[in-house]
Amino acid sequence: MSVLEGALLGLVQGLAEFLPISSSGHLLLGKLLLGIDTEASAFKVLEILLHVGTLIPVLIVFWRDWIDMICHPIRNHTLALLFLASLPALAAYVIFDMDVFDSGWFLGVSCLITAVLLLLTDVVSRHRRVARQKVGWLNALCMGLMQALGLLPGVSRSGSTISGGVFSGLERKEAARFSFMMSAPAIAGSLLMEGKHALEEGLFSQLELVPTVVGVLVAAVSGYLAIRFMLRLITKVPLSWFALYMALLGLCFLLLQLAGSPLVPAFELPSLADLIKLSL
């Protein structure tokens, strides 16, 4: 991997993590376009490190919130709410084998799912007269359930969690704010679980140092800009514009699959045994 490829992947990760367009889906697209083996173990580690890059702006933008919730865990319930919101995705990660989606065969359908969620979010928020200004336990649980859906490459984590917040009665800007903070425990958990395996297998040594560092730094900077952008425009710009983009992307991907194009992987449904990690 060259420095330019590392920078491009970092840019994609940073922007798509916080814009409702799916960072995992766009990383898969980037790898396919660059001719990178999407199922190679080393590049799975690279994806984790790029996610760590986007953790940096979350810590910077919301630093006052992190300090307050850590210093005052009784008065400030945000830490407990983030823990609750992380449980559904953790359960889905333990139960389901998400590696079956690594080739990108499901990407077109996932993009369409994101488009539908964003359109519904616009409709619900447009017709609601009163919305909650503060995250509650039900909001956190609903957003957590939607974050589990966001494990599918192509289903936007930020888009699905914002949708979960709005569907459960939360104001859009507060839903976006909590959604971005939810990425911190998700990324940290992924780093702990996948990083341990990568260390044991010696996968970090397979990555080229300079392109990887450049990618992480670009992901951090672009992620910071994306957070600031979304927090300013979330109440002004309809999410339907992002929905239109995701719908067109998903349809194009599906058409290429139907045409049997070698540019995209074939659509092949896995068996239930392949999808579920746990066996009775």
Query: pLDDT digit string (tens) for 165-189?
Result: 999 999 999 999 999 999 999 888 8
**DSSP-derived 3-state class of residue 244:** helix
Mean pLDDT confidence for 100-111: 90
Model confidence band, residue 98 (pLDDT cutoffs 50, 70, 90):
confident
Mean pLDDT confidence for 242-262: 94
| pLDDT exceeds cutoff 90 at 10 | yes
Other C-beta atoms lying within 10 Å of the C-beta of residue 132? 16
* pLDDT at site 38: 58
* pLDDT at site 202: 73
pLDDT digits (tens, 9 = 90+) for 16-50: 999 999 988 898 888 888 777 655 666 778 888 99
Model confidence band, residue 280 (pLDDT cutoffs 50, 70, 90):
very low
Q: What is the 3-state secondary structure (H, E, C) of 186-208?
A: HHHHHHHHHHHHHHHHCCHHHCC
Mean pLDDT confidence for 190-200: 76
* pLDDT at site 40: 65
* pLDDT at site 61: 95
- Please give the Cα distance from 161 to 145 (Å, whole number): 8
| pLDDT exceeds cutoff 50 at 102 | yes
How far is residue 48 from each of residues 2, 39, 76, 130, 239, measured CA to CA in Å? 18, 14, 30, 39, 27
pLDDT digits (tens, 9 = 90+) for 123-159: 998 888 777 889 999 999 999 999 999 999 899 999 9
Percent of the chain with pLDDT over 90: 58
| pLDDT exceeds cutoff 70 at 279 | no
- Please give the Cα distance from 212 to 230 (Å, whole number): 26
- Please give the Cα distance from 207 to 46 (Å, whole number): 7
Question: What's the whole-model pTM score?
Answer: 0.91
Mean pLDDT confidence for 102-116: 92
**Cα-Cα end-to-end distance for the chain:** 42
Q: Quick one: 70 exposed, middle or buried, by C-beta within 10 A (0-12, 13-18, 19+)?
A: exposed
| pLDDT exceeds cutoff 80 at 196 | no
- Please give the Cα distance from 236 to 247 (Å, whole number): 21
From 74-78, 199-203, 226-230, the region with the lowest mean pLDDT? 199-203
- Please give the Cα distance from 84 to 57 (Å, whole number): 22
pLDDT digits (tens, 9 = 90+) for 58-80: 999 999 999 999 899 888 899 99
How far is residue 182 from each of residues 78, 87, 170, 262, measured CA to CA in Å? 10, 11, 15, 37
190 in Cβ contact with 46 (< 8 Å): no
